[in-house]
Amino acid sequence: MSPSNLFAKFCLLALGFTLAPHPLTAAPATSAELIPVNTARSQMTLLVGTDQRLYQLAYGSAGNSPAIPAKTPGRDAEFYPQAGDGFLFEPALLAVHTDGNTSTDLRYVSHTVTALDSNVTLTRIELKDSYYPFHVALNLKTYRNEDVIEQWAEISHDEKGQVTLERFASSSPELPGGNYWLTQFHGDWAKEGQLAEEQLTFGTKVLDTKLGVRAHQYRTPVFLLSKNGPAREDAGEVYGGTLGWSGSYQFAFDVDPAGKLRALTGINPFNSAYHLARHQLFNTPKMFWSWSAAGKGQISRNFHRWARRYILRDTGQLRPVLLNNWETTGFNFNEPKLTALLATAHDLGAEVFLLDDGWFGDKYPRDNDRAGLGDWQVNPRKLPDGLGYLTQAAHQRDVRFGIWLEPEMVNPASELYHRHPDWVIGQLHREPQLQRNQLNLDLSRPAVRDYVWKVINDTLAPNPGITYVKWDCNRFVTQPGSFYLKPDEQSHLLIDYNWALYDIMGRFATNFPNVTAMLCSGGGGRVDYQALRYFHTFWPSDRTDPRDRVFIQWGYSHFFPACAIAAHVTRMNERPFKFTLDVAFSGALGFDLDFAKLSPDEKAEALAAVALYKNDLRPIVQQGDLYRLVSPYDGQRSALDFVSEDRSHAVLFTYQIASGPADTVKPQGLDPQRHYRIREVNLAVGTASRLPGQDTVVDGATLMRDGITPACTKEFDSAVIEFTAE
């Protein structure tokens, strides 16, 4: 033994550490082995090195399958890099073992590949520390036809005591060499889904949120990485990523000195150290990846098809047209008002009437946002005959009935808070900080979880006529403390909260399978593919001005299908009514306005629009493939089209957001060999189409090559154009 090693051994013994032989020190080198993870058009290639470590060789085209290299790659190519044992850059895992060792050395144990069905395959790779009984299982589930890879890690140990996890990424792939442009989607309340793009340079770019609950208020957990230039719609190599987590998350894009990019994605480790008991399993959230050689438009279509097939509830069902009372009444309503609105919903052709905030509270009535949250009894002064009366009244008018819930929250002015002030999230010795006059309930506390479930069950089970729920969440966490968790478990709070939330949401979806559900969080504060497993749609923003919604819906369309994006017709900023209708057509259509206050022409246009959407456009928009044609970020117009799966039917929307010339728009996704009849629809009362070629038949190849020129030149002009194969 060298003098330096003798000195190191002496120091460790002096500090009280017990030395034992390294189990793998004398282990013979093993043969290298490739582990390919394939979709139809992409492949992630992993390598078990001769040193038994797991490396990544490639992620990209399925046609570029690498061979086993002659030499084991460097440690910087590890697929799930660990801190403290030679890795120099951003690690995926940082664990503190029971003896205080802050290093981990994961080695390959085994892997299995299981075909779950003809399209879905799970590759599970078991890793173990070379010394400690510390285990990580990396799971990669592939959706072949949709070109999506789902990845997550399962961490456990058999050490005698608690291991502290200080970093625990869901995935950390290394992308092939090149220059990368990052596209993120940021915003704030009423300005969600805003697109921003920049080139990544040396160092680490971090996108994160520390809000804990409704954590997406300022940034949606999605991104695009475009290779060798800004992202284009229909060309170029692009990676898309989205994390299924409603809480605090972090994306760290680390460009090393050699120019290689590693993307670390998962729960934000800030204030989230997790003390893992012996045999306890820690699951990271699911991270979803897709790769395309045909631009970001293909990434979007990959995620849309995958979400419609595997994630969203009742993916084959068309989302109903609904009428919400909020913009008409606010908190100020009673049974006669609501009964009149039910008649309006029927006359409009809406399929659901949604009763929003304000229906509950007795001692502390919900007459404003300062009281009542937590007390989910029907307000007897507003609704003396209860919810049953309203559901029956809706049924008599052939309209489904829906209701608003915010079960995670409480007002200090409530009976619940007076009984259980320790049930809220807050900090010792600090005055409670209110947002929207409310506090978060602490879902890490079992009694709170039971109560929240009871709220949901007691509202829906006795009232089977309620077949729609809008689940809201109107504040994030500013004082992340629990009066239930032990002092050394306080950093568990925001992780335990979100897993508890999903458990409750899962019970809701399982116990009430016939209840359609909208996910809302003061707008787009909770938009991810874990929460969306339990919902049919989400409310993207409280900003319903159609001009702003062009940008908001454009942003969300990069990762979420139109069937999931609630798009309502309102009178915000009094935009032209046809423009408002046309913008709402490109999502899950709804209305939030006082139908009685519309002009006769507007009423006629609304009735015709609902009939057109339900009978003709809805299947194409909600189940078809999206092609973004003209970006609102590039000029005075936005345009997009949806194409049915069999390409027999398509609809194109164009929105003029500023005055300018009538430009040609080239539809995409049509069958070049088929012929399509062109018709402009949803015309304003008393107007005729000014579309050149109206009601003519043109082949798909010509339409996609030469395009069409809608007569839209003034701000708020819009057009809806159908293509029907003949």
Does position 170 have pLDDT exceeding 60, yes or no?
yes
Q: Which of 424, 417, 429, 452 is CA-nearest to residue 440?
A: 424
Q: Is the dihedral of CA 540, 545, 548, 551 positive or negative?
A: positive
Amino acid, res. 520: C
Q: Which of 419, 682, 601, 719 is CA-nearest to residue 708?
A: 719
CATH fold match for the domains 31-169 and 174-271+286-311? yes
pLDDT computed for residue 90 by the predictor = 87
CA atoms of 652 and 231, how far apart (whole Å): 23
The residues near 91 (Cβ < 8 Å, ≥ 6 apart) are 81, 82, 83, 84, 167, 264
- Give bridge partners of residue 468 from the DSSP assignment: 402, 516
Does position 236 have pLDDT exceeding 60, yes or no?
yes
Q: Beta strands 439-440 and 409-410: pairing type?
A: antiparallel
Does position 633 have pLDDT exceeding 60, yes or no?
yes
CA atoms of 188 and 216, how far apart (whole Å): 9
- Give bridge partners of residue 627 from the DSSP assignment: 641
Contact of 501 with 521, CB cutoff 8 Å: no
- Give bridge partners of residue 436 from the DSSP assignment: none
pLDDT computed for residue 177 by the predictor = 85
Calculate what percentage of the chain has a pLDDT beyond 70.
96
Give, in words, the CATH class of 625-725.
Answer: mainly beta
3 state DSSP class of 642: strand
Does position 6 have pLDDT exceeding 80, yes or no?
no
User: For 375-425, what is each residue's pLDDT tens digit?
Assistant: 999 999 999 999 999 999 999 999 999 999 999 999 999 999 999 999 999
**322-621: which CATH topology?**
TIM Barrel (3.20.20)
User: For 47-76, what is each residue's pLDDT tens digit?
Assistant: 999 999 999 999 999 988 899 999 999 999
pLDDT computed for residue 27 by the predictor = 42
How many CB atoms are located within 10 Å of the residue 186 CB? 15
Average pLDDT over residues 216-220: 97
CA atoms of 190 and 301, how far apart (whole Å): 26
CA atoms of 115 and 462, how far apart (whole Å): 42
Average pLDDT over residues 5-10: 40
Contact of 58 with 39, CB cutoff 8 Å: no
pLDDT computed for residue 379 by the predictor = 98
How many CB atoms are located within 10 Å of the residue 499 CB? 15
Predicted confidence band of residue 258 (pLDDT cuts 50, 70, 90)? confident
pLDDT computed for residue 29 by the predictor = 52
User: For 548-565, what is each residue's pLDDT tens digit?
Assistant: 999 999 999 999 999 999
User: For 570-597, what is each residue's pLDDT tens digit?
Assistant: 999 999 999 999 999 999 999 999 998 9
Does position 5 have pLDDT exceeding 80, yes or no?
no
Does position 16 have pLDDT exceeding 70, yes or no?
no
Contact of 193 with 552, CB cutoff 8 Å: yes
pLDDT computed for residue 65 by the predictor = 85
Predicted confidence band of residue 3 (pLDDT cuts 50, 70, 90)? very low
The residues near 547 (Cβ < 8 Å, ≥ 6 apart) are 573, 575, 657, 716
Contact of 721 with 652, CB cutoff 8 Å: yes
As a whole number, the mean pLDDT across the chain is 95
Does position 323 have pLDDT exceeding 60, yes or no?
yes
For 217-318, where are the alpha helices, taking DSSP H only?
296-306
CATH ID of 174-271+286-311, from 2.30.30.90, 2.70.98.60, 2.60.40.1930, 3.10.180.10: 2.70.98.60
Does position 20 have pLDDT exceeding 70, yes or no?
no
Contact of 404 with 389, CB cutoff 8 Å: no
Q: How is the chain split into domains, by residue range?
A: 31-169, 174-271+286-311, 322-621, 625-725
Does position 627 have pLDDT exceeding 90, yes or no?
yes
Residues that are catalytic: 472, 542
Contact of 481 with 427, CB cutoff 8 Å: yes
The residues near 210 (Cβ < 8 Å, ≥ 6 apart) are 248, 268, 270, 271
Predicted confidence band of residue 81 (pLDDT cuts 50, 70, 90)? very high
Amino acid, res. 553: Q
The residues near 702 (Cβ < 8 Å, ≥ 6 apart) are none
CA atoms of 154 and 168, how far apart (whole Å): 10
Average pLDDT over residues 538-554: 98
Concatenated DSSP letters for 33-94? Answer: EEEEEE-SSEEEEEEE-TTS-EEEEEEEETT--PPPPSSPPPGGGBSS-BTTSS--S--SEE
For 461-492, where are the alpha helices, taking DSSP H only?
none
Superfamily of domain 31-169: alpha-galactosidase from lactobacil brevis (2.70.98.60)
